[in-house]
Amino acid sequence: MRKLVRVTSLCLMLALLVGSISVSTAANTRLSFSTQGLGTSMYVYASTIAQIAEKYLPAGYAIDIETTGGGINGPMLVGAKKADIALANSAPANWVMNGDILGRPPVPGFRAIVGGMDRPFVVVIFTEDFVRKSGITSLEEIAEKKYPVRVAVKTKGMLGEAAADQILAAVGASYDNIKSWGGSVVHAGSPEIVAMLRDNRADLTIDHIPAGQASIGELSLTADIRFIPIPEHVRDELVNLGWEKTIMPKDTWAKQPEDTPSLSSSVVVVVREDLPDDVTYALTKAICENKQALVEAHASIEPFEPELAWMLEKCGVPLHPAAEKYYRDMGYMK
């Protein structure tokens, strides 16, 4: 009898030990969510998603926001297993996965879970001081006059910078050409770009942002600027690079009195392709079933349509199987 008690006690102790190890492991399961820095819309998106999703994730999981880069960097970090989740945009997510456009090897290893989260726009902004002193009112004229323009754009790896690079090259004003004409191209964060334009240390910027983005919103209210349309031939060319044509409605920003031809690539959430199915399903469910909370955090998410968030043109890359299961369970996919 005593032997049986001792064996039973030993088994109980082992069970408790195993249980404690399991709980400890789960408690230390922290998912890294890569996004852009403080003050950006991407940071607001990521922090809000993380706050909502932690209520849906399996017990013991938590999410850490890491400002290690969004846009193009996001899917690259996830594919390289340096992050678990990231915000990206549909076109560059495709470039990263397939190795096209960027001139880099393909980076597989990630999948989409939710696409079409916003309706961003490529903005081209001239200062009115630049227009007055140069007489230039369009992008093409910069190349025609070989004008030594001073450009301020996002840091390399950001989608806004890729948009600037591709658009300027398409009008014949590549970075190298601008520098050869005596101009300059400065890479900086949003606050510094705004300061440079306001202080007349830069003539123009090009970025890819949602309506209501704080830095450009502030600039449009506090500086003398002009929003410039993207030429139709440039839009046609960039559609072939994965961009989507769109029109930025008038009054999206202060000092934008007319509808403005633009380009767009909407936000997509990507995850490691080896992320567990239950975790991926929970993340997808959390985002799709809390649109109102996301919109309250950032109004630019208003165009988000969860029932269409699975579509390839909105995601840019294939879905994670667990995300696809969620959309099928909801009847969004047949």
Residue 57 sits in a domain of what CATH number? 3.40.190.10
**Range of lowest pLDDT (6-15, 40-49, 274-283):** 6-15
Do 153 and 285 share a structural domain? no
Q: Name residues whose C-beta falls within 8 Å of residue 177's C-beta, 6 or more positions apart in sequence.
A: 143, 146
Which pLDDT score is estimated for 293? 97
Do 168 and 298 share a structural domain? no
Do 153 and 97 share a structural domain? no
Do 285 and 301 share a structural domain? yes
> Average pLDDT in the 217-236 region?
96
Token representation of residue 5: 């008690």
List residues bridging with 153 in a β-sheet.
187
Structural domain ending residue among the three candidates 246, 264, 282 = 264
- Give pLDDT tens digits for 160-210: 999 999 999 999 999 999 999 999 999 999 999 999 999 999 999 999 988
Q: Is 223 within a domain?
A: yes
Residue 244, domain extent: 121-264
Structural domain ending residue among the three candidates 215, 236, 264 = 264
Which pLDDT score is estimated for 158? 82
Nearest to 124 by CA among 101, 152, 145: 152
Do 288 and 189 share a structural domain? no
Q: How far apart are CA 140 and CA 167, in angstroms?
A: 10
Do 126 and 164 share a structural domain? yes
- Above 50 in pLDDT, residue 12? no
- Above 70 in pLDDT, residue 105? yes
> Average pLDDT in the 131-148 region?
98
Q: What is the pTM of this model?
A: 0.70
Do 142 and 34 share a structural domain? no
Q: Is 206 within a domain?
A: yes
> Average pLDDT in the 93-118 region?
89
Q: Is 157 within a domain?
A: yes
Which pLDDT score is estimated for 218? 92
Q: Is 284 within a domain?
A: yes
What confidence category does residue 295 fall into, taking pLDDT thresholds of 50, 70 and 90? very high
What percent of the chain is predicted at pLDDT more than 70?
90
List residues bridging with 245 in a β-sheet.
263
Question: Are the CB atoms for 91 and 242 separated by under 8 Å?
Answer: yes
Q: What's the chain's average pLDDT?
A: 89
- Above 90 in pLDDT, residue 66? yes
Q: Is 299 within a domain?
A: yes
Which pLDDT score is estimated for 99? 86
> Average pLDDT in the 1-18 region?
39
Alpha helices in the chain (DSSP H): 2-27, 41-53, 73-79, 90-98, 128-134, 139-145, 159-170, 175-180, 190-198, 214-222, 232-239, 277-288, 291-297, 312-315, 321-329
Which pLDDT score is estimated for 20? 34
Count how many Cα atoms sit within 13 Å of the Cα of residue 212 in the half-sphere of its side chain: 13
- Above 60 in pLDDT, residue 16? no
- Looking at the structure of the chain, the number of domains it has is 2
- Above 70 in pLDDT, residue 26? no
